[in-house]
Amino acid sequence: MANKIEIPKGNSRAIQATLTDPDEDALDLTDSAAYISVREDHAEAWYTTVHACNVAWDELVDADVVVTLSTDAQEGASSVLLTIAAGAGAGDILATDAITSTDLSNHSSIHVWLKSSVNCDAGDLAFLIDNTALCASPVYTLDVPALTAATWTKCVMYFDDTYHTCDTDLTANISIGIKLVVDKGAMTLHVDEVRAGKYLIERFAGSTGVDPALGIASFALVPEHTQGLDADTYDYDIQIEYTGGDVYTPIIDDFEVLDHATEAR
């Protein structure tokens, strides 16, 4: 079992768990990485749908881009297809679409499926989110991870790359878009199922200790993790990912954030 813990708001505190397998033996964490995620309530969906990509984006379309729908999709029947001519240049917003005003406070990331016809390095493209039309002054310009040509990639982009925390002020968002940061020449880009991760802390990396065979995972929460949270009880899970690709989620527990004036017991 993980240790249930109380954390005075804005304080640092370690969360440590001894993980076991179904036979109650220590889970061998050799060649694995440990992550902790925190949500308000595990009974709720882990995401908010921002755009299902079942209609073509048309709020703003660059003169060198044609936007259509494609049946090559990862979620549902269609994706949005951007056909980008060689005339598109670095710094161009390729396309945006208006969305119903969406409150993404207490969300930590954007998850989106992307498929490019050419290889892209991390940061060659950017995902935009804005509380003004046409992504005219983006609240966030998120670097898109590297893409392998002709391959669907599930891209996760955090609002806070260091602590993987939520933005409590990210309200009333009305526009999303894709920006070309590095000129890639003529290419196509599929976009499908834009979601926002509904986490207060999402996949913050921990340690598996000096001897991973003991099954102990530790996470050093710092003031930045709790200073934006209300005094309340929050659910967390610990996920173990092995080098070979296996994923194990053995712990779902909770901790309490206390007011500044309250001492942890």
What is the distance between the alpha carbons of residues 188 and 176, in angstroms, rounded to a whole number?
Answer: 18
Residue showing tokens 């954390």: 7
Q: What is the pLDDT of residue 141?
A: 98
Residue 43 has pLDDT above 90, yes or no: no
DSSP-based three-state secondary structure for 73:
coil
Q: What is the pLDDT of residue 4?
A: 62
Cα diameter, the chain = 63
CA–CA–CA angle 200, 206, 209 (5° rounding): 155
Query: Which domains are present in the chain?
Result: 5-44+200-258 (2.60.40.10), 47-197 (2.60.120.260)
Is-above-0.85 flag for pTM? yes
Query: pLDDT by residue (tens digit) across 69-117?
Result: 999 999 999 999 999 999 999 999 999 999 999 999 999 999 999 999 9
What are the strands, taking DSSP E only, across 12-139?
13-18, 32-39, 47-51, 60-61, 65-70, 79-84, 93-102, 109-116, 125-130
pLDDT band, very low/low/confident/very high, at 1 (cuts 50, 70, 90) = very low
DSSP-based three-state secondary structure for 135:
helix
Query: pLDDT by residue (tens digit) across 150-193?
Result: 999 999 999 999 999 998 889 999 999 999 999 999 999 999 99
Whether the CB-CB separation of 31 and 37 falls below 8 Å is answered with no
